[in-house]
Amino acid sequence: MANQKGGVAKTTSTVNLSAALRERGKRVLTIDLDPQSNLTMSFGINPETLERSMFDVLVHRVPIADVIHQREVDVAAASIDLAGAELALASAIGRERTLEKAIAAVRMDYDYILIDTPPSLGLLTINAFTASNGVIVPVQCEYLSLRGLVQLESTLQMIRENLNGEVRIEGILPTMVDKRTVHAREAIDLLTENFGDIVFKTRIRKSVKLAEAPVRGGSVLSYQPDGPGAMSYRALAEEVLSRDE
Ligand SMILES: Nc1ncnc2c1ncn2[C@@H]1O[C@H](COP(=O)(O)OP(=O)(O)OP(=O)(O)O)[C@@H](O)[C@H]1O
Ligand SMILES: [Mg+2]
């Protein structure tokens, strides 16, 4: 899950898509690769009390299994010290493949591994791109930045040429859509004009429940199972599953 723009619902989408895939019987791991640790907190884990976290996996080569917590889905937890990982890895040989190598040990244990990334295209996000088959790009329609998407795509092109020939944008996900505004409709039209079929049919509407669920330490599927937020992320899971068939 990536977009260098902040606050576009990367974390919210990681939490709720993973819960929806779990509901469909898939074995799911989520990885928190953001020093803000929002994914970790969203699953009710306190980052400050962690003995070991993704920082230790990337920098001290601790097995990723040692930082995985069992919640609604499995969660490889992060804390603020992950902010130091970019610097610590900067001069390491194979620095872009550190996450890919760490994941290799558990890859066969899961059907889906969803990685939440920070709002930047730095080394942490590049590690995520190198380790991934596909990238889901949430975009907030209210502040749509096509230029940002072009920059993201050109970073992915570099990753394909140098590190991971397979990685592609799996889908663009319109989030925080306010159906009442003309602007939201225009933004979605603009997206489909420019990116065609890779824009998901599912649109995630604005819903305060999606913002409240993390406070309860879980997904909106467990907080309000029949609400619009849960329905939207279930629909997204169906789309992801059908694209993978
Ligand atoms: N569909 C929605 N309706 C209402 N609020 C939402 C929705 N999706 C996300 N939010 C809220 O918007 C804020 C930003 O979402 P989120 O943290 O998922 O974005 P992010 O892209 O992960 O941000 P960052 O770049 O800082 O990591 C959060 O407070 C979240 O609860
Ligand atoms: Mg986030």
Any atom of ligand 1 within 6 Å of the Cβ of 6:
yes
Task: Report the pLDDT value the prediction gives residue 141, as an integer from 0 to 100.
Answer: 84
Any atom of ligand 1 within 6 Å of the Cβ of 191:
no
3-state secondary structure of 201: coil
**Model confidence at 181: pLDDT above 90:** no
Where do we find the tokens 């619009």? 228
Span between the terminal Cα atoms of the chain, in Å = 20
Q: What integer is the mean pLDDT of 31-52?
A: 98
Cβ proximity of 127 and 92 under 8 Å: no
Provide the phi-psi class of 10: left if phi over 0, else alpha when psi is between -120 and 50, else beta.
alpha
Upper half-sphere CA count for residue 73 (Cβ side, 13 Å): 35
Cβ proximity of 237 and 24 under 8 Å: yes
Contact residues for 77 (Cβ-Cβ < 8 A; gap 6+): 32, 37, 40, 45, 47, 50, 53, 54, 67, 68, 69
To 5 degrees, how large is the angle CA 193–CA 179–CA 239?
A: 60
Per-residue pLDDT tens over the stretch 136-162: 999 998 777 888 999 999 999 999 999
Higher-scoring residue by pLDDT: 245, 51: 51
Domains and CATH numbers, the chain: 10-244 (3.40.50.300)
Any atom of ligand 1 within 6 Å of the Cβ of 227:
no
**Model confidence at 132: pLDDT above 90:** yes
Phi, psi of 202 (to 5 degrees): -70, 135
Nearest alpha carbon, ligand 1 atom 23? 7
**Model confidence at 245: pLDDT above 80:** no
Taking the centre of ligand 2 as the mean of its atom positions, its distance from the CA of residue 183, in whole angstroms, is 24
**Model confidence at 188: pLDDT above 80:** yes
Using a pLDDT cut of 70, give the percent of the chain over it. 100
Higher-scoring residue by pLDDT: 21, 243: 21
Any atom of ligand 1 within 6 Å of the Cβ of 71:
no
Per-residue pLDDT tens over the stretch 53-62: 999 999 999 9
Task: Report the pLDDT value the prediction gives residue 187, as an integer from 0 to 100.
Answer: 87
Tell me which residue of 56, 53, 58 sits closest to 41, measured CA to CA: 53
Q: Quick count: other Cβ atoms within 10 Å of Cβ 180?
A: 9
Strands annotated E in the chain = 28-32, 68-70, 74-76, 112-116, 134-140, 168-175
Any atom of ligand 1 within 6 Å of the Cβ of 11:
yes
Q: What integer is the mean pLDDT of 10-16?
A: 98
Q: Which ligand is nearest to the CA of 10?
A: 1
What CA–CA distance (Å, rounded) separates 96 from 129?
A: 9
Nearest alpha carbon, ligand 1 atom 5? 211
Structure tokens that stand for 76 in this block: 């490889």
Structure tokens that stand for 126 in this block: 């590049």
Task: Report the pLDDT value the prediction gives residue 143, as an integer from 0 to 100.
Answer: 76
Per-residue pLDDT tens over the stretch 98-131: 999 999 999 999 999 999 999 999 999 999 999 9
Task: Report the pLDDT value the prediction gives residue 99, as an integer from 0 to 100.
Answer: 98
Per-residue pLDDT tens over the stretch 206-244: 999 999 999 999 999 999 999 999 999 999 999 999 988
Phi, psi of 223 (to 5 degrees): -80, -45
Atom of ligand 1 nearest to the CA of 213: 31
Contact residues for 55 (Cβ-Cβ < 8 A; gap 6+): 78, 79, 81, 82, 84, 85
Per-residue pLDDT tens over the stretch 68-93: 999 999 999 999 999 999 999 999 99
3-state secondary structure of 172: strand
Structure tokens that stand for 69 in this block: 């917590």
Any atom of ligand 1 within 6 Å of the Cβ of 9:
yes
How many residues belong to the chain? 245
Taking the centre of ligand 2 as the mean of its atom positions, its distance from the CA of residue 12, in whole angstroms, is 7
Task: Report the pLDDT value the prediction gives residue 142, as an integer from 0 to 100.
Answer: 77
